[in-house]
Amino acid sequence: MARRRIPPFETEITGLDDRGMGVGTGPSGEHVVVRGAPPGSRVAVVPFRRKRATLHARRHALIRPPAAWVDPPCPRFGVCGGCTLQELSLDAQREAKHQAVLDVVGPAPTVHPVRGAPQATRYRNKVELGFGSARYVPEGRYEKGVTVLDGRFLGFHAPGRFDRVVDSDVCHLISEDAERLLQAARGVALTEDAPAPWNAREHTGVLRHLVLREGFRTGERLAILHTTSAADPAFFDRFADALLAAPADHGRLVGVVHRIHDGVSDVATGPMVAVRGQDHLHETLLGRTFRLSPDSFFQTSVEGAEVLYTTIAEALGRGGTLLDLYCGAGSIGIALSEHHDRIVGVEIVPEAVEDARRNAAANGVHGTWVTAKMEDATGVLDEVSGPRRIVVDPPRAGLHPKAAKALAATQADVLVYVACKPSSLGRDRAILEEGGWRATDLWTVDLFPQTGHTEAVMRFVKDPA
């Protein structure tokens, strides 16, 4: 039997879920989630999907703004889909995120006040943009015959639309110098004589992604152009020339990298085929300098990362070996190395492990870094003898069940779980607790102002077996 369509309705937005969606109540008491609906507001919504007990709805109109309403700083607000919390003051965003973390992670004996770096905009040191032949125009703004839908575009992927990009020459999360690189890239890559942009439906076209990375402290910037193998090398030369000629107030573009991706998946990856200048950049964090390859993970806000790492240091305490699991380019272990005798890191991306080893040597840090999937490297937990402390910082999906089980069974002075998706911590916490770990402290660290994302840190201790 066909499901009854639920007509539009109004709802009070009482909080956020851990993806930053506004949460309200439907006409029959349903749990409602609405993208871009700020807590404290009343919104008119149009339901579009029911999934289990949750009604997903689109924001149609803001009936009553929240008390902490501010004018959204970005001209693409409401279209791009990336910074859905811009209508709330930074303090109100943080309080709402803190509550969302508590809702999905659960309580702890000590819950610390929410933390974050002071910058609300222009804090992001990495942005990944997509080329596309189809432009996203939000509902209600499409004018037949006026709005161009097909052409050459560069911007962010529209929420829920893999095949359309929100054409953009600005982003208030990246620096003004990075914005100038974006504008220079558009000037050379969206013209008639440039290779065609990727068509995600037909799997045709040549230009795929542009990744911009930046060391805020060092002023080094890196641009990475991803194309299919059909790209003419002469185009990459023109592209690199245009970006290198872009003006900058601070620092400089140290390299332009060309990578090839012929597959249909929409991921910015693939072998490097040409480089102008360097194929890496450097950044400084808590007094240590890090070399970063195009694929090496690094926290996207350096100021925010310092708040996060200081929190991790507080949670870990000092002494023994530090097991830095899911270590990326080694930044947590290396930044906190003065507090520990030695570091053992595990990370899946080989380039990141090479960076970690180089970064350790350059900073005079002792340790071992292993390239492995954590779920296949649980033996490392038995190999490290003596007093040890563990930090795990997995990707959004959280711990693989095998890794969670091994961590639950192991002994250490303390285990600190750093979560970029708090609900993954909420799930993994239960597994750790079954193994005898006890949560003592919970912190919310807002690394991503304006967006619905947040970081949670939980400290666990275990009574000796």
Ligand X SMILES: C[S@@+](CC[C@H](N)C(=O)[O-])C[C@H]1O[C@@H](n2cnc3c(N)ncnc32)[C@H](O)[C@@H]1O
Catalytic residues: 420
Backbone angles phi and psi of 274, in degrees to 5: -155, 150
Cα dist. 288→255, 358, 363, 465 in Å? 22, 12, 7, 37
Question: Which residue stretch of 59-67, 83-91, 325-333, 439-447 sits at the interface with ligand X (rule: CB under 6 A)?
Answer: 325-333
Q: Does 395 bind ligand X (CB under 6 A)?
A: yes
Interface pick for ligand X out of 133, 299, 311, 359 (rule CB under 6 A): 299
Question: Which residue stretch of 11-19, 235-243, 281-289, 347-355 sits at the interface with ligand X (rule: CB under 6 A)?
Answer: 347-355
Q: Does 331 bind ligand X (CB under 6 A)?
A: yes
- Which residue lies nearer to ligand X by CB, 117 or 348? 348
Interface pick for ligand X out of 239, 326, 448, 460 (rule CB under 6 A): 326
Cα dist. 3→6, 25, 49, 152 in Å? 9, 19, 10, 40
- Which residue lies nearer to ligand X by CB, 347 or 441? 347
Question: Which residue stretch of 145-153, 177-185, 323-331, 457-465 sits at the interface with ligand X (rule: CB under 6 A)?
Answer: 323-331
- Binding to ligand X by CB under 6 A, coded x per residue (else -) over 353-392, reads --------------------xxx-----------------
Q: In whole angstroms, how close is the CB of 170 to ligand X at the nearest point?
A: 27
Interface pick for ligand X out of 47, 294, 328, 426 (rule CB under 6 A): 328
Question: Which residue stretch of 34-42, 114-122, 327-335, 437-445 sits at the interface with ligand X (rule: CB under 6 A)?
Answer: 327-335
Q: Does 448 bind ligand X (CB under 6 A)?
A: no
Q: Does 347 bind ligand X (CB under 6 A)?
A: yes
The residue count for binding ligand X (CB under 6 A) is 21
By CB under 6 A, what part of segment 268-297 binds ligand X? 297
Q: In whole angstroms, how close is the CB of 339 to ligand X at the nearest point?
A: 16
By CB under 6 A, what part of segment 407-446 binds ligand X? 420
Interface pick for ligand X out of 43, 45, 260, 327 (rule CB under 6 A): 327
Question: Which residue stretch of 57-65, 72-80, 348-356, 445-453 sits at the interface with ligand X (rule: CB under 6 A)?
Answer: 348-356
Q: Does 349 bind ligand X (CB under 6 A)?
A: yes
Closest CA to 325 of 368, 276, 387: 368
- 271-308 b/e with 16+ CB inside 10 Å = b? eeebbbeebbbbbebeebebbbbbbbbbbbbbbbbbbb
Q: Does 457 bind ligand X (CB under 6 A)?
A: no
Q: In whole angstroms, how close is the CB of 457 to ligand X at the nearest point?
A: 11
Q: In whole angstroms, how close is the CB of 349 to ligand X at the nearest point?
A: 4
Provide the token pair at 326: 């899911």
Interface pick for ligand X out of 131, 153, 198, 298 (rule CB under 6 A): 298
- Long-range contact pairs involving 231-240 (C-beta distance under 8 Å, separation at least 24): 231/195, 231/206, 231/207, 231/258, 231/260, 232/195, 233/274, 235/194, 235/195, 236/274, 237/276, 238/188, 239/185, 239/188, 239/189, 240/276
Q: Does 348 bind ligand X (CB under 6 A)?
A: yes
By CB under 6 A, what part of segment 163-202 binds ligand X? none
Q: In whole angstroms, how close is the CB of 424 to ligand X at the nearest point?
A: 11
Report the interface residues with ligand X, using CB under 6 A: 297-299, 326-328, 331-332, 346-349, 352, 373-375, 393-395, 400, 420
